[in-house]
Structure 1
Amino acid sequence: MSSWIAGLPMYNVTPRHVALWHALLRDALDAFANAGGPAGVALLDEPFGDLHTLWRRDDLLLSQTCGYPYRMLGLRDTVRLIATPVFNADGCHGARYSSVLVVSARVHAGGATTLAACRGLRAAFNGEDSHSGMNALRHAVAPHAHDGRFFGSVTPFGSHLNVLRALAAGDADCAAIDCVTFAYVKDALPELLHDIRIIGKTASAPGLPLIASRTLEEPQVAALRDALDRAVSVDAERARVLRLKGFERLAPDAYDAIERFARDAAAHGYPALA
């Protein structure tokens, strides 16, 4: 491949997070180039456009996806799994993470202090292709559902940040938020959580994987993994703000857990968030 692109679209919660992830990616690519990898990689930034198209590009050197598209929407068969981040956040254990179950303060005061008590409420989620916002929530709700339904309504808001805003504004009642995103918001936008209460967490699953095109050869994959490790270690303050401890090398079949969440929900007669 004569030219490559790279971009990290998944945890850009605030402009500071955007800048820090961009700098970490730049350091990783510089280390990769010094190890014999390609130089002059084009770094993408927001707006990234259609992510499902981006993730399937032959010239993609590095990006990050959610475990749901990776396991459930065919990405695993078309990309290389590079690494999975390890975060220092409540709900993370190694390269695994969970979602924080939250409700608005108003419904919490009215008795919605457990997930079971959220029956008939207005659920919000980021998108249909999200594990943390949709699949994990569906899995958690499934044992409580009757005839395939639990919530009064379910509404997509496009991002976890938008979901939190909807809860704070009273436009939704309950949701599941990626625990890393929740930690970032707690650090940088704590006022957004003033009218939001935690009522639990979902089961854990492998975190959001870093991926590359299958045109990347195996020796380059190994060098890219080493370059990512170096990029974390060179700036301790950046790693602290990003809550990034490092990366693990998971096998692709580790993400079968994502499919098990969906299968277990369907076994309870709850195949769709409803």
Structure 2
Amino acid sequence: MIAAFPMYDRPEVAATWDRLWHLFRAAYGNGPQQQTRDGDLWDTWKSPDLLLAQTCGFPYRTRLKDKVALIGAPDHGILEAPAGHYCSVVAAHRRCEGQNLPALDGATLAYNEPLSQSGWAAVWRHFDQHNIRIGPRLQSGSHRESAQMVAQGTADFAALDIISWKLMERYDDFAADLVVIDMTPPTPALPFISACYQDVERIQKALRDAIQTLTSGQREELYLQGLVTLPQSSYEAVPNPPAP
């Protein structure tokens, strides 16, 4: 069986993600000894051996929804979005402090990848609703690299998953060179999934138990306070953007 928590896994919090996995495995009563960290994400998400992983809402609704089972969405315990939801921060260089969204009309966007809800779909929708043009688009490969491109002046702004951004604020010095200009409306948070044949209710219970067995400090470290059950339709309702 395969397990992976890849979306917010970085060296500073890796041990706590491992702790969550071991607690889940104990509550579930089965599963691999370790998470898969070096595999291709698409291979992991689509594997018939998948027990538990986290994906992004955009890949889920466009390519995975009929191939995997939806387990639920994280309650991040943040003020910026309700439980089971998240948003993107629109981040620019700190020299733009005090400016508002129209100041980015025609500006260069750094985005992590074309199938990212927070890095592309959310900012496309937000700018479209405000009649603001997105200028040239530069693909970075990750939210962290997008943020670095803005800090270095290679791009004018980036849309960053708010949890990724909070982790950058906590651990990365370059975050001090950025300022949040705006935030996108909340959408369903990055879903936990499993292979279709898995026992969803059993996995949900084991994951809830594992999260609650973490210490309060560990839950705050992961921005993970609980598991929220959302219907597939809540993800399907989010508009799909054109390709960048």
TM over 0.5: yes
For residues 215 and 43 of structure 1, the distance between their equivalents in structure 2, rounded to whole angstroms, comes to 21
For residues 90 and 123 of structure 1, the distance between their equivalents in structure 2, rounded to whole angstroms, comes to 26
Aligned length: 243
Give the deviation of 1:155 after TM superposition. Answer: 0.7
Quick one: structure 1 residues 90 and 187, their matched pair in 2 at CA, closer, same or farther if it must change by over 3 Å?
farther
Give SS of 1:43's match: coil
Kept after mapping to 2: 8 A contact 1:120/1:152: yes
1:22 — aligned with what?
18
2:122 — aligned with what?
136
The answer to whether structure 1 residue 238 and structure 2 residue 214 are counterparts is no
Letter of the aligned partner of 1:52 in structure 2?
Answer: W
5+ residue gaps, structure 1, are: 34-38, 266-270
5+ residue gaps, structure 2, are: none
Kept after mapping to 2: 8 A contact 1:89/1:180: no
Kept after mapping to 1: 8 A contact 2:2/2:44: no
Letter of the aligned partner of 1:151 in structure 2?
Answer: I
1:6 — aligned with what?
3
The answer to whether structure 1 residue 79 and structure 2 residue 72 are counterparts is no
Quick one: structure 1 residues 153 and 24, their matched pair in 2 at CA, closer, same or farther if it must change by over 3 Å?
same
Give SS of 2:225's match: strand
Larger radius of gyration: 1
For residues 137 and 31 of structure 2, the distance between their equivalents in structure 1, rounded to whole angstroms, comes to 44
1:166 — aligned with what?
149
Kept after mapping to 2: 8 A contact 1:5/1:42: no
Give the deviation of 1:16 after TM superposition. Answer: 2.2
Kept after mapping to 1: 8 A contact 2:127/2:134: no
Q: Out of 248, 253, 266, which is 2:233 matched to?
A: 253
The answer to whether structure 1 residue 96 and structure 2 residue 100 are counterparts is no
Give SS of 2:141's match: coil
Deviations 1:42-63 (A, max 9, x none): 53333232x1222111000000
The answer to whether structure 1 residue 123 and structure 2 residue 109 are counterparts is yes
Deviations 1:75-98 (A, max 9, x none): 110100011100023422110111
Kept after mapping to 2: 8 A contact 1:133/1:175: yes
For residues 116 and 272 of structure 1, the distance between their equivalents in structure 2, rounded to whole angstroms, comes to 22
Deviations 1:90-134 (A, max 9, x none): 42211011111111123x16x8x2222112221101100100000
Quick one: structure 1 residues 229 and 125, their matched pair in 2 at CA, closer, same or farther if it must change by over 3 Å?
same
The answer to whether structure 1 residue 180 and structure 2 residue 180 are counterparts is no
2:135 — aligned with what?
152
1:47 — aligned with what?
38
For residues 35 and 205 of structure 2, the distance between their equivalents in structure 1, rounded to whole angstroms, comes to 22
For residues 117 and 31 of structure 2, the distance between their equivalents in structure 1, rounded to whole angstroms, comes to 33
Query: CA-atom RMSD, angstroms?
Result: 1.8
1:268 — aligned with what?
none
For residues 142 and 169 of structure 1, the distance between their equivalents in structure 2, rounded to whole angstroms, comes to 27
Quick one: structure 1 residues 201 and 5, their matched pair in 2 at CA, closer, same or farther if it must change by over 3 Å?
same
Q: TM-score, normalised by structure 1?
A: 0.83
For residues 44 and 192 of structure 2, the distance between their equivalents in structure 1, rounded to whole angstroms, comes to 13
Kept after mapping to 1: 8 A contact 2:88/2:159: yes
Q: TM-score, normalised by structure 2?
A: 0.93
Give SS of 2:48's match: coil
Deviations 1:162-188 (A, max 9, x none): 111111111111111111111122222
